[in-house]
Amino acid sequence: MKCPKCGGKMMWERYQEMTDIFAGWHCLNCGEMIDPEIMVNRIFGPVERKKRRGRKRKNG
Ligand SMILES: [Zn+2]
């Protein structure tokens, strides 16, 4: 795993916040942190909801 910011080495680390434990990538070089959730967003992109405009005019 390479850091997208500086290309440094990243380490998989687990963090604990209160009672929640989560894991993510931590750059040893610049300290960039990447959560799995962020990764998913970067890969698949933010979910964009298309507005539906399916109104049809009725003649008569
Ligand atoms: Zn980095």
**Per residue in 1-60, pLDDT tens?**
899 999 999 999 887 878 877 788 999 999 998 887 766 677 777 666 666 666 777 776
Per the domain annotation, does 24 fall within a domain?
Answer: yes
DSSP string, the chain: -B-TTT--BEEEEEEEETTEEEEEEEETTT--EE-HHHHHHHHH----PPPP----PPP-
How far is CA 6 from its chain centroid? 18
Distance 44 CA to ligand 1 centre (A): 22
Per the domain annotation, does 32 fall within a domain?
Answer: yes
Distance 1 CA to ligand 1 centre (A): 11
Distance 47 CA to ligand 1 centre (A): 26
What's the domain range around 40? 10-44
pTM above 0.85, yes or no: no
Distance 58 CA to ligand 1 centre (A): 59
What's the rounded Cα separation, in Å, for the pair 20 and 44? 25
Per the domain annotation, does 34 fall within a domain?
Answer: yes
Distance 39 CA to ligand 1 centre (A): 15
Q: What does the pLDDT read at residue 29?
A: 96
Tokens at residue 43, please? 């890969």
Per the domain annotation, does 21 fall within a domain?
Answer: yes
The number of domains in the chain is 1
